[in-house]
Chain A
Amino acid sequence: DQQVKQNSPSLSVQEGRISILNCDYTNSMFDYFLWYKKYPAEGPTFLISISSIKDKNEDGRFTVFLNKSAKHLSLHIVPSQPGDSAVYFCAASAKTGANNLFFGTGTRLTVIP
């Protein structure tokens, strides 16, 4: 059963507008969450993370929000740029256990110039 879910397989946004990518999880033991960006024929690259003790983390144009009660996180990109077009994966990890990352199925973001 998928413990990390990204229910939107794709998203299209105009350049300059905000992109919001969503992620839900089911395992209440998860306490560290990450977003990765992936271009075709390349490995995923780490984008931003958030620990469960926070509800927001910001890095330049990228902000991740965490709602623990809803088991939901989101990635905001503002302003969106054409170079942001990629597949975005949400991932989660638990402090206990083997520290492996559980990934969602990804959302393909297309930023239209």
Chain B
Amino acid sequence: DVKVTQSSRYLVKRTGEKVFLECVQDMDHENMFWYRQDPGLGLRLIYFSYDVKMKEKGDIPEGYSVSREKKERFSLILESASTNQTSMYLCASSFGGLNEAFFGQGTRLTVV
């Protein structure tokens, strides 16, 4: 079974803090993604990566950066957390080409 693991289920951070969300997949997938889910807005793509050290902006990259130093790990960084970044963050991975993505369990981040 494909496993995508996010480091935390729940996080509470203060405004202005630098926040790291970690994601690891065990299926040697080329692609990895970070989405956020907000009520009424569905899943919106923040960043994705199709190879080690490669990254592409998604629909809402502002205020975020990412790092992919190893194939199995994709990190999302909030440079200076703000309250409007309170959300559910979902990591996913997939093989290249037209294939389904597999999701982690999500991280509920609250910025106070």
Contacts and interface: CB of A to CB of B under 8 A. Distances in A.
A105 B98 contact: no
Interface stretch (B35-43, B64-72, B75-83): B35-43
Interface in B85-111: 90, 92, 94, 96-106, 108
A43 B41 contact: no
A46 B2 CA distance: 12
A113 B35 CA distance: 33
A31 B100 CA distance: 13
B98 A32 contact: yes
Interface in A94-111: 95, 98-106
Contact of B43 (A32, A89, A95, A99): A89
Contacts of B104: 43
Interface of B: 4, 9, 31, 33, 35, 40-45, 48, 50, 56, 58, 90, 92, 94, 96-106, 108
